[in-house]
Amino acid sequence: MNHIANTDQQIYLLTQRMLNPEKVPHTANIFLGVDVGTANVVTVAVDEEGNPLGAEIESARVTREGMIVDYLGAVRIVTKQVENLRQKLDHPLLFGASAFPPQTESGNIRITANILEAAGVNVITMVDEPTAAAQALGISDGAVIDVGGGTTGVSILIEGKVIATADEPTGGFQFDLVIAGGLGIPIEEAEAMKRNLEKQRLLFPVVRPVMEKVASIVSRLIDGYPVKDLYLVGGSCSFNGFQTLLQNQLGLATHIPQIPLFVTPLGIALSAASFSQK
């Protein structure tokens, strides 16, 4: 579909800019999108038109099931990423946004905003994760399924409006747990195996129950809504066979970008750039 192709093009450009950041005049504004996830912290920079300029990523364990559990660790990583981008882009980075899993607003919005502010970034908006992903995907109808390290978030859109969001504590970490338990190996080794594309086919029967649980979560959350298309984002969605399983289980067209890990952080940055123009 055209919007998926456009997203793939934007994310491809983003990956290129990670190696060779794009500088802009100092008179222009740059907007950051900071995604403090369960497995990774990602910071993306875009210009006023939403064009990717650069990004930073680091593996981390500063959240658990969508909630910040290591505030100081998160501040350290985000501060380092912002400073790295500031030096690479040779530009002040004053404005940004972050995101939170749906239905965690009361415990997450303020503390996540504080992380950015501690890194010297003025927070101009906050958005839930699957809604941010929808911004990057450019869709107006369907359900965005954001399968992160600790949770699965769902955002349902009809005619460009988000009409429902929800979040459940199942994600990539559960993949690690069942692999570790099934093979009798440490959790760190299980995670490394999960990321190995050559081993994913062999691991599929082990993690299939977790995928089926995600499918049941999605089925329950979209029940009663006129959803025809699903859009998968988040690093855990890239596991070989996940897209096909969800499509077969739910009987709905299921789409996934080539690099789903970067969709949500890009969408957060785009949300900041868009909000600034209101």
pLDDT tens digits, 4-54:
889 999 999 999 999 888 888 888 899 999 999 888 899 999 999 999 999
- 200 Cβ contact partners less than 8 Å away, ≥ 6 residues apart: 194, 239, 240, 241
Q: Do 93 and 157 contact (CB within 8 A), yes or no?
A: no
The CATH code of the domain that includes 145 is 3.30.420.40
Q: Do 274 and 48 contact (CB within 8 A), yes or no?
A: no
Indicate if the pLDDT at residue 66 is higher than 80: no
Q: In terms of residues, how long is the chain?
A: 278
Looking at the fold, whether 120 and 197 belong to one and the same domain comes out as: no
Indicate if the pLDDT at residue 106 is higher than 70: no
Quickly count: other Cβ atoms within 10 Å of residue 208's Cβ. Answer: 14
pLDDT of 125-168, one tens digit each?
999 888 899 999 999 999 999 998 888 889 899 998 889 888 88
Looking at the fold, whether 211 and 152 belong to one and the same domain comes out as: yes
Q: What are phi and psi of 232, to 5 degrees?
A: -95, 130
Indicate if the pLDDT at residue 192 is higher than 70: yes
Q: Which two tokens stand for residue 213?
A: 């649980």
Please tell me the distance from the alpha carbon of residue 215 to that of residue 145, in angstroms, as a whole number: 10
| Residue 98: strand pairing partners | 34, 126
Looking at the fold, whether 65 and 179 belong to one and the same domain comes out as: no
Looking at the fold, whether 73 and 195 belong to one and the same domain comes out as: no
Q: Which two tokens stand for residue 49?
A: 């038109």
Looking at the fold, whether 97 and 232 belong to one and the same domain comes out as: no
Looking at the fold, whether 223 and 103 belong to one and the same domain comes out as: no
Total count of domains within the chain = 2
**What is this structure's pTM?**
0.89
Looking at the fold, whether 125 and 166 belong to one and the same domain comes out as: no
Please tell me the distance from the alpha carbon of residue 142 to that of residue 136, in angstroms, as a whole number: 14
Looking at the fold, whether 220 and 270 belong to one and the same domain comes out as: no
Looking at the fold, whether 94 and 150 belong to one and the same domain comes out as: no
Task: Look up the domain containing 234 and give its range.
Answer: 138-257
Looking at the fold, whether 125 and 142 belong to one and the same domain comes out as: no
pLDDT of 216-251, one tens digit each?
999 999 999 999 999 999 888 989 999 999 999 999
Looking at the fold, whether 23 and 91 belong to one and the same domain comes out as: yes
Looking at the fold, whether 45 and 150 belong to one and the same domain comes out as: no
